Each structure stands twice: as structure tokens, then as C-alpha cells.
Amino acid sequence: MAAHIYKGQSTNSSNILFTWDGKHLFNGNSTNSSNILYTFDGEYIFKGKSTNSSNILFTLDSTYLYKGKSTNSSNVIRTISGNIPRLFLIIL
């Protein structure tokens, strides 16, 4: 089952800004592959549909969110404490 982020208070389908299916963040309500903004494989957040290493925007481990592919401490942009939903990290 997909999760949605809506514009404003109404959960009317016409107000859907983003759709999350557990792996992809889509623009709008459609889960058509042409609407994929980001892909998450459990470790990396990729721009678009392709999981090619050149498309890696962020790397995630159990404690840190890193910019890019490298897990060098100089690339840490967020420290994670607790169980944060993956969708939330992608939007940040």
C-alpha cells in the first residue's frame, strides 16, 4: 500500500504531492516509472529510477546520513537516533 504526502489539510487525491511505495518516491499520485523522483535500496538514495552509482545522492547506515557515496565522516549531514521512516529521510 502506498503512502502519500498531501498539500494542505485535505486527503483528496487531487492534493497528492508525493507517493511512496517503500522503494520509490513519485511525483504526484501516479506510480508510473516516469514519475520517479528518488529510489531507495536500503543503503543508498538515488536520483531518479536508475540505481547506477553515478546517481547516488545519499548513503544511509544505522546512525548517519551521508552526502554522496562515501561514508567518510566529513560527509555526514545528519545523525539518526531511533527508527526514522525512510520516506522522511528522502524528503529532508
Answer yes or no: is pLDDT of 91 > 80: no
pLDDT tens-place string over residues 15-24: 999 999 989 9
Answer yes or no: is pLDDT of 92 > 60: no
Domain that holds residue 17: 3-91
pLDDT interval class at 52 (50, 70, 90): very high
Per-residue pLDDT, 81:
82
Across the chain, mean pLDDT equals 89
In this structure, are residues 59 and 51 in contact, taking their beta carbons and an 8 Å threshold? Answer: no
Which among 81, 57, 62, 60 is positioned nearest to 71, based on CA atoms? 60
Number of domains in the chain: 1
pTM: 0.83
Answer yes or no: is pLDDT of 61 > 60: yes
